[in-house]
Amino acid sequence: MIDELVRKTRTVRRFQEEKNIDPDLLTMLIDMARLGGSARNAQSLKYMVIMEKKTRDELFPLLAWAGYLPHWPGPEAGERPAAYVVCLLDTKLQKGPETEAHFDLGIATQNMLLAAAEQGICGCRIGAFSGEKVGKLFNLPGQYTPLLVVALGYPAEEVVIEEIGAEGDIRYWHDEQGGHHVPKRKLEDIVLVASAFQEK
Ligand SMILES: Cc1cc2nc3c(=O)[nH]c(=O)nc-3n(C[C@H](O)[C@H](O)[C@H](O)COP(=O)(O)O)c2cc1C
């Protein structure tokens, strides 16, 4: 069951934009993020949910989509996210180095995306944006650092996981029907034997 859910939890960048996500469901996703592990239990992450169309339209141009698809400008109008969760570091709650908050963020957003996938909703984490511009858009007080934006919606594209080719190309690609292919490394290529590097 967890295997199926993890496989279903794919990055999607084309959505049924008109299909709104129930606000209670979005709140549930934040709750799943809240329950994730946290270094020093600092829990220094906060979340801003964006549902309003006007704000979505303001945020969209600040985000960079699919760096490996340079000829694809990102989702067109009608296929853009139905909601966003802007993940912020509250520096007043931060305990250790910022990297620790980044570990927390990976856990929190994966919880969020797993719970979303169970409800038929997919998402895309976006780290490629200017924190300064996003901060300005929301007039954020200085204590908040935008770390990641999670775009969400009901999917409007097929995503296929495939085994990485012999040439080792990790770039995702679009087929002629618009299907999105994501190469993943083989299991045997990522498992290291503990004794392999030890002196005999
Ligand atoms: C920390 C992080 C940052 C990411 N930033 C972006 C981004 O800025 N733009 C984008 O289109 N995708 C972004 N992605 C999505 C990755 O490209 C995606 O996870 C990868 O292609 C593998 O696909 P999968 O999530 O379906 O396994 C990001 C993913 C992670 C985990």
Domains in the chain, CATH or no CATH each: 2-157 (3.40.109.10), 158-200 (2.20.180.10)
Instruction: Kindly state the tokens that stand for 167.
Output: 């040439």
Residue 126 in contact with ligand 1 by CB distance below 6 A? yes
Going by pLDDT thresholds of 50, 70 and 90, the confidence category of residue 63 is very high
**Average per-residue pLDDT in the chain?**
97
Helix intervals (H) in the chain: 2-8, 23-34, 53-59, 98-118, 131-137, 187-190
Instruction: Kindly state the tokens that stand for 149.
Output: 């934006």
For residues 58 and 38, give the distance between their C-alpha atoms in angstroms, rounded to a whole number: 31
Residue 11 in contact with ligand 1 by CB distance below 6 A? yes
Mean pLDDT within 44-57:
98
User: Tokens 């909703």 identify what position?
Assistant: 121
pTM of the model as a whole = 0.97
* pLDDT at 200 (0 to 100): 75
Ligand 1 midpoint to CA 125 (Å): 5
For a mutational test of ligand 1's pocket, the pick from 12, 69, 84, 125, i.e. the residue with the most ligand atoms closer than 8 A to its C-beta, is 125
DSSP state of 197: G
Query: Where does residue 60 fall: left (phi above 0), alpha (psi -120 to 50 degrees), or beta otherwise?
Result: alpha
* pLDDT at 193 (0 to 100): 94
pLDDT in tens, 6-33: 999 999 999 999 999 999 999 999 999 9
Q: Which atom in ligand 1 lies closest to the alpha carbon of residue 10?
A: 26
* pLDDT at 38 (0 to 100): 98
Residue 125 in contact with ligand 1 by CB distance below 6 A? yes
